[in-house]
Structure formats: C-alpha cells, structure tokens
C-alpha cells in the first residue's frame, strides 16, 4: 500500500502454508455461511469463499474486500481475476480424469502442475513440469486433502508451498485449490467427493 503497510492480499498470499476448508456446520440446520474458509494452519481466519452461482465465486479477505474472483468456463477451465478485474491466473484440466491434474498459469506466464499420483491418494504435488512427461520434477508444494466431518463429508485442504514461490504464484495455487474443490464437489452436489 501507499502508506508502507502490506496489503491484506499480500499478507494472505505471503504465507507458505494455509488451510482451505469447508466451515463446520450443524447437521440439523440449514447452513448459510461461506462455502470455504481460508485460515492459517493455527486456525486464524484469513479469507472466505462465497459462490454467486454455479460458475462464479469470490474470495474476500477478513475485511470483506474481494481479493480473487474465480470464473468457470465449460466443465473444467477457470480464470482468476483480482479486485480490479485484471486476470491473475488460470487453471484447467488435461485429457485425464478431471480430478487427477490441474494445469496452472500464473500472471507472469509460469506454468505449474497440481497432480494427484493415484485415485486413492490424498496428496497433490505442485511442480513446474508435468510429472507424467519425464523424470521426477522438483516439488514446489503439496496439497493434502482430509475429511473433517465424515457424516456431512466436509473437506479440508492443507496448502504448503516452497519459499521460492512469490505471492502472485501462491494466489494462483490457492485459487486452484478452490477450483479443485469445485471439481470434486460442485455446489449443490452430493457429499461424496469425486
């Protein structure tokens, strides 16, 4: 910011580890809160995600300011824009099953891959090259999926990134985890993940 303080957006995306998850809710009452919450690993709230319809959602910081808008095109193509409607990243699937790999594009043009190694794996690896196209690439991050409430089927994603990633790249990775959740469990679908 102009006054020398870092923006909330920079603080959110400067962290090397965050948790993206479905907030806990009552089993007996209709839930009206955000679709997803972003917090520190210790549980401090950082942002929340709200669906506006089946193809758009917003991530807002703790003050309510929009930091990322996610638009879905077709079955599995996403575009990320910032508060000024400038494109800041993309995510899409390849020719494989929709939840095995996401190809990410950052604002600088860097290509990243978020890949699950098998259908039963709960870990996704972030790499700069496609792990299926050659020798094992350097792992730049991990996303670990867990179920925090088996009866309702609430999911949580722990996102860990390497110090080498900058804030704009982390923004793309966190937005892609939201897309991953949308692909695994779209709004209004059953509680069973894909």
| H helix count then E strand count, the chain | 2, 12
Domain 8-184 CATH (choose: 2.60.40, 2.40.160, 3.40.50, 3.30.1380): 2.40.160
Listed in sequence order, the DSSP H helices in the chain are: 8-14, 167-184
Buried b (16+ CB within 10 A) or exposed e, 116-126: beeeeeeebbb
pTM of the entire predicted model: 0.87
Segment 126-178, tens digit of pLDDT? 999 877 776 778 899 999 999 988 888 899 999 999 999 999 999 999 999 99
Tens digit of each residue's pLDDT (9 = 90 or more) over 41-81:
999 999 999 999 888 999 999 888 999 999 998 778 999 99
Residue 188 has pLDDT above 90, yes or no: no
Q: What is the DSSP letter of 16?
A: S
Tell me the CA end-to-end span of the chain in Å, nearest whole number: 41
Domain boundaries, the chain: 8-184
Residue whose C-alpha is closest to residue 70's, from 99, 50, 46: 50
């Amino acid at each position: 910011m102009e006054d020398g303080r870092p923006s909330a957006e920079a603080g959110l995306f400067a962290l090397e580890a965050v948790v993206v998850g479905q907030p806990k809710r009552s089993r007996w009452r209709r839930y009206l809160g955000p679709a997803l919450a972003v917090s520190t690993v210790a549980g401090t709230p950082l942002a929340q995600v709200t669906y506006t319809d089946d193809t758009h959602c917003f991530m807002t910081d703790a003050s309510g300011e929009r930091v990322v808008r996610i638009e879905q095109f077709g079955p599995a193509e996403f575009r990320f824009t910032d508060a000024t409607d400038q494109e800041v990243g993309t995510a899409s699937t390849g020719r494989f099953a929709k939840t095995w790999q996401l190809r990410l594009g950052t604002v600088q043009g860097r290509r990243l891959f978020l890949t699950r190694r098998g259908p039963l794996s709960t870990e996704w690896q972030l790499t700069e090259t496609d792990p299926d196209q050659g020798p094992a690439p350097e792992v730049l991050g991990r996303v670990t999926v867990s179920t925090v409430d088996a009866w309702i089927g609430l999911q949580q994603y722990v996102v860990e990134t390497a110090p080498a990633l900058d804030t704009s790249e982390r923004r793309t990775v966190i937005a892609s985890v939201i897309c991953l959740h949308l692909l695994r469990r779209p709004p209004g679908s059953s509680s069973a993940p894909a």
